[in-house]
């Protein structure tokens, strides 16, 4: 048997048994009789791969990848419960639709949303191609280099319909992703003249979802883009504070 794999599985199983609480490095190494340095290195790898996340008190719990393996919705439920009231606050201020979403495969999937009271609304499907959404583009841009390579190999580059700004394929694709990374948010206007904004929701240095707001372009022209982005970021931080 490969010892390091056994130890990594022991750590995941330990955290799974304590999924309603957090465990410190000392708790884990003591309970599993592991050398603290060895334990820390394994946990670092599992954290980088999103199987474990670290809270502000430097304690650990299972991360999104651990739940994704079994289809367990607990991790998403915590996010949804935290997001719903904050999305409602955002919509109350702007009277525009807001949502929290993730990328599953090559699809942007909505976890929670709040709708405006405007008679003319910008509607969006629960699932749509990630390349054809502000949150989808943002979350793809946030992928690590190796993850991005795997994504492109599996799903290909965006078509012109999905991302019209990408003209010379990979070069302009990377330019667009780097632009999103540099500014820290994504903006897109689709063929239906709907403008969408998105910023990341980051927990313990890991992007776990995106939060966005979208509206018809004729209403956006009367609004302040910087203020929208700032409010989205503040809402993302409010959500994270509840997790």
Give the span between the Cα atoms of 89 and 107, in whole angstroms. 27
More confidently predicted of 236 and 75: 236
> pLDDT digit string (tens) for 125-153?
888 889 999 999 999 999 988 889 988 99
**Domain boundaries along the sequence of the chain:** 3-70, 74-242
Task: Map the chain to HEC letters.
Answer: CCHHHHHHHHHHHHHHHCCCCCEEHHHHHHHCCCCHHHHHHHHHHHHHCCCEEECCCCEEEECHHHHHHHCCCHHHHHHHHHHHHHHHHHHHHHCCEEEEEEEECCEEEEEEEECCCCCCCCCCCCEEEHHHCHHHHHHHHCCCHHHHHHHHHHHCCCCCCCCCCCCCCHHHHHHHHHHHHHHCCEEEECCCCEEEEEEEEEECCEEEEEEEEEEEHHHHCCCCHHHHHHHHHHHHHHHHHHC
Residue 77: partners with Cβ closer than 8 Å, 6 or more residues away: none
- pLDDT of 70: 61
| pLDDT for the residue 20 | 59
Question: What is the reported pLDDT for 64?
Answer: 72
d(CA 105, CA 9) in angstroms, rounded, equals 25
Full-model pTM: 0.70
Confidence of residue 22 (pLDDT cuts 50, 70, 90): confident
pLDDT at 227 over 60: yes
- Domain 74-242 class, CATH top level: alpha beta
Tens-place pLDDT, residues 46-94: 988 878 887 766 788 887 777 666 655 566 778 888 899 999 999 999 8
CATH fold for domain 3-70:
Arc Repressor Mutant, subunit A (1.10.10)
Confidence of residue 14 (pLDDT cuts 50, 70, 90): confident
């Amino acid at each position: 048997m490969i010892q390091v794999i056994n130890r990594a599985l022991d750590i995941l199983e330990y955290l799974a048994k304590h999924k309603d609480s957090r465990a410190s490095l000392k708790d884990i190494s003591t309970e599993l009789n592991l050398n603290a340095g060895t334990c820390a290195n394994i946990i670092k790898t599992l954290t980088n791969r999103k199987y474990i996340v670290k809270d502000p008190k430097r304690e650990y719990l299972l991360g999104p990848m651990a739940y994704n393996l079994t289809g367990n919705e607990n991790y998403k439920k915590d996010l949804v419960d935290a997001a719903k009231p904050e999305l409602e606050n955002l919509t109350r201020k702007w009277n525009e639709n807001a949502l929290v979403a993730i990328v599953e495969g090559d699809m942007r999937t909505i976890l929670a949303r709040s709708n405006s009271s405007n008679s003319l609304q910008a509607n969006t499907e629960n699932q749509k191609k990630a390349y054809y959404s502000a949150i989808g583009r943002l979350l793809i841009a946030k992928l690590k280099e190796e993850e991005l390579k795997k994504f492109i190999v599996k799903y290909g580059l965006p078509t012109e319909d999905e991302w019209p700004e990408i003209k010379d394929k990979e070069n302009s694709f990377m330019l667009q992703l780097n632009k999103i990374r540099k500014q820290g948010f994504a903006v897109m206007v689709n063929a239906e003249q709907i403008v969408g904004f998105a910023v990341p929701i980051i927990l313990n240095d890991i992007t776990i979802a995106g939060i966005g707001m979208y509206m018809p372009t004729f209403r956006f022209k009367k609004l302040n883009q910087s203020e929208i982005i700032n409010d989205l970021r503040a809402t993302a931080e409010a959500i994270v504070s509840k997790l």
